[in-house]
Amino acid sequence: MLPDKLIEKINLIYKLLPVILLVVITIPADSQERLQRHDSFNVHRYRINLEINDTSNIINGVTGLEIILKNQVERIFLDLASVNNEGIGVKVDSVLKNGILIDHDHKDNILTLPVYSYDTLGNPVYKVFYRGTVENGLIISKNMYGERTFFAENWPNHAHKWFPCTDHPSFRSKVDFTITAPAHYQVIATGNLIKKINLPGKRTAHYWSTDIPIPTKVMVFAAAGFAVEYPGDIDGIPWSNWVYPQNMENGFRAFSGTPEILRFFSDMIAPYPFEKIANVQSTTRYGGMENAGNIFYHERAVAGNNSIEKLIVHEMAHQWFGNSLSEKDWPHIWLSEGIATWLTDWYVKQIYDSVKYQERLASHRDRIIEYSRESLAPIVDHHADNYTDLLNPNSYQKGSWVLHMLRRKIGDEMLLKGLREFYDRYKSGYAGTDDFIEVLEELTGMDLKQFADDWLYSAGHPVLSFKTQFSNGRLAIELVQMQQHKIAFTFPLDIRFIFDDGTSKDHTFEIVFRRHEFIIELPSEPVDIILDPYQWLLFELN
C-alpha cells in the first residue's frame, strides 16, 4: 500500500500520459494522401453521365471533372476502383483534357492524370470514359418485392467504385447527374431536377444538378419503380416522398412528420442547407443514409406499421451535421453520428418529456458499456482498420453522452449556442474534434482540454467501487476508479444518501484521482446510497 500523497502524484503523471501520446498519433496513410491533395487541387464540379438498363449490371459511364488547381503540379490523383482478380471494378477506355485525348495511368485504385505547367493559368476540364462491374457504391439489385433497383450508397468511401473522384469527406464539390434509364424507372438524385427528355427505345434522360458543394459520401442517385408524392413546400423547401407502389399507403404515412422535424432543426440550428428534402425508400444496408437533400431509408422500415419518427429525426439532423458540416477525416465521425444521436435525444426531450430522454440515456449507457467489453477504443479512433468499423456505439451513443456531460459542465444554453456557432463557422466545409472544442472554449472561457482528453481521446469510462463506514454522525467514503486502461478520469460525481425515514440528501464530489476518501456529516447512517442519481455521468459500477 502506497501513501496517499505518492498515489496522487503517480495519478497526475498517468493523467498526463494520454495528452503526451496524442502528439505522436498519425492518421492512416490513405487518408493522409487524400488530405495532401488539398494543397494541389479540388474538383469544382462533377458531371456524372450514366446509362442504366434492365439486361446487364455492367455500367458505362462518362464523368466530367472541372478542376481547380491550387499549385503548379505535374499530375493529379483521383480515386477510381481498378479491376481486381475477380473482374470487379472499372476500366478506363479514354480520357479527354480540354477536349483533347491524353494519356492516363490507372492502377491500384488510383487514376493519374497529367497536368502541364500552363494549366495554372486556367483550370483544366477532364472527361473520363469508363465501363465495368461495380461491387459497391452503386448497388444494382432487387428490392423486397423482387423488382430491379439502382441505389448509390457511397458511405464511407465507395463513390470511387463507380465514378472517378476524391473520395474523402473533407473534399466538397458541386455535382450534375445525367441518368439515362428505361422509361418505367423514376430517377431521383442530388440537387434539383433540371429536365427530363424522352429518348428513342423507351428511354428517359433525367438531369439533376446542385450548386451546393458536398462531399462524395452523400452525392447519390436512385432509380426504381417509385410512387412519388409532392405534398408541398416546407417553408419554401420542396418536399417529396419516393416509395414502392406496393406499400404506398404505409410509405407516405411514414414520412408525414417531415415538416415538423425539419422546422425543429431549422429553428434550433440554422436554415435548412439544401435545395430540397426527399425521403426515399431504398435497399440501403443501413437503417437510413443521410444523402444530401435526399435521404435513403431501409425499405422494410418504411413498409412497416411502426413509427420511424426517431430515424427521420436522426437522418434530418445529419443534413446540418455530416452533410453541410462534414468531419475532416473518418476518425472524427462522432461529429456527425454522435451529434445526430444527441440531437435526436434532445428532440425527444423537447417534444415528449424528460423521462423518455432519461430512458434513452440509460439505454445508450448500457450499449456503451457492452461495446467497451468487445472493443476498447477512444471515440476519436485513428486505428480502425475499416472505416465501416467506426459505425459503433463510440461514434453514436458515446458521442451523444459526451454532449450530455457537456450540458452539465457548460449548461444547456451554452451547449446549444456552441452547436450553432460550430455549425455556422464550418458549414459548407469540414472540421475536426479540436475545432469543436475550441469553439466551446471560446464561448465559455473554460479550459476543456482535460474533458476532451478523458472522454474523446481516451478509451473506456470510469469503473467505480466504493466502501463506507459510519460512526458518530460521520460517514467515511472510499471511492476507487477500478478501470485498468486509464489511471483516472476527472468528473463531478453526485451521490444520494437515503435514510430510514424516507428522506435523502445529495452531495457532489469532484473526482480527480484514482482513489479518494471523503468524510461527511449525516443525521444518521444511510440505508441506501445511489451514485449518479440524476444520470449525468457515463460510468460503470463495479
Taking the C-alpha atoms of residue 346 and residue 340, their distance in angstroms, rounded to an integer, is: 10
pLDDT greater than 90 at residue 498: yes
Distances (CA, A) of 266 to 96, 235, 280, 371, 420: 43, 10, 21, 33, 11
For residue 435, give the C-alpha cell.
475545432
- Reduce the DSSP state of residue 243 to 3 states and report it: strand
11-17 contacts, C-beta under 8 A, 24 or more apart? 11/487, 11/488, 11/512, 11/513, 11/514, 12/513, 14/486, 14/487, 14/488, 15/450, 15/487, 15/488, 15/490
- From the number of C-beta atoms within 10 Å of its C-beta (0-12, 13-18, 19+), residue 338 rates as buried
pLDDT, tens digit, for every residue of 17-73? Answer: 333 333 333 334 466 566 678 788 999 999 999 999 999 999 999 999 999 998 888
Residue 119, pLDDT above cutoff 50: yes
Residue 12's pLDDT is what? 40
Q: What is the pLDDT of residues 311-329, one digit of tens each?
A: 999 999 999 999 999 999 9
Give yes or no for residue 236 having a pLDDT over 80. yes
β-bridge pairing 148-152 and 221-224: antiparallel
The H or E element that residue 20 is part of is helix 4-22
How does DSSP classify residue 211? E
pLDDT at 530 over 90: yes
Q: Do domains 40-135+157-214 and 463-541 have the same CATH topology?
A: yes
Q: Are 454 and 512 in contact (CB under 8 A)?
A: no
Whether CATH 1.10.1200.10 fits 226-319: no
Q: What amino acid is encoded at 305 in this protein? A: N
Q: What confidence score (pLDDT) does residue 14 get? A: 34
For the chain, the structural domain boundaries read: 40-135+157-214, 226-319, 325-455, 463-541
pLDDT (tens digit per residue) in 175-188? 999 999 999 999 99
Fold of 325-455: Neutral Protease; domain 2 (1.10.390)
DSSP state of 332: G
Give the confidence band of 272 by pLDDT, cuts at 50, 70, 90.
Answer: very high
The residue-averaged pLDDT of 422-441 equals 98
Report pLDDT for 120: 54
What is the model's pLDDT at position 166?
96
Q: Is the dihedral of CA 274, 260, 425, 449 positive or negative?
A: negative
Least confident of 63-72, 188-197, 330-339: 63-72
Cell of 495: 451521490
pLDDT over 60 at 1, yes or no? no
* Residue 136 predicted with pLDDT over 60: yes
The pLDDT of residue 428 is above 80: yes
Q: What is the value of pTM for the model shown?
A: 0.91
d(CA 420, CA 157) in angstroms, rounded, equals 28
What average pLDDT does the segment 162-191 reach? Answer: 97
CB 504 within 8 A of CB 477: no
pLDDT digits (tens, 9 = 90+) for 280-301: 999 999 999 999 999 999 999 9
Predicted confidence band of residue 118 (pLDDT cuts 50, 70, 90): low
Asked: is 40-135+157-214 a CATH 2.60.40.1730 domain? The reply is: yes
Separation of alpha carbons 412 and 409, rounded Å: 9
Q: CA–CA separation, 523 vs 507, rounded Å? A: 14
pLDDT for position 4? 38
Q: What is the pLDDT of residues 373-414, one digit of tens each?
A: 999 999 999 988 889 999 999 999 999 999 999 999 999 999
- 205: CB partners within 8 A, 6+ apart: 178, 179, 180, 196, 197, 199
Q: Does domain 463-541 sit in CATH 2.60.40.1840?
A: yes
- pLDDT band at 478; cut points 50, 70, 90: very high
User: What whole-number distance in Å separates Cα of residue 219 and Cα of residue 196?
Assistant: 20
Give the confidence band of 171 by pLDDT, cuts at 50, 70, 90: very high
Whole-number Å distance between alpha carbons of 197 and 99: 25
Single-letter amino acid, residue 445: G
Q: What percent of the chain has pLDDT over 90?
A: 88
CA quadruple 248, 249, 255, 256: dihedral positive or negative? positive
| N residues, the chain | 542
pLDDT at 9: 36
Helix axes 354-374, 399-410, angle to 10 degrees: 130
CA distance 48 to 192: 15
Average pLDDT of the chain to the nearest whole number: 92
**β-bridge mates for residue 519, sequence order:** 476
Quick one: average pLDDT of 429-435? 98
The closest of 254, 258, 302 to 143, measured between CA atoms, is 302
Residue 2 has pLDDT above 60, yes or no: no
Confidence tier at 3 by pLDDT (50, 70, 90): very low
Q: What is the DSSP letter of 83?
A: P
Residue type present at position 76: I
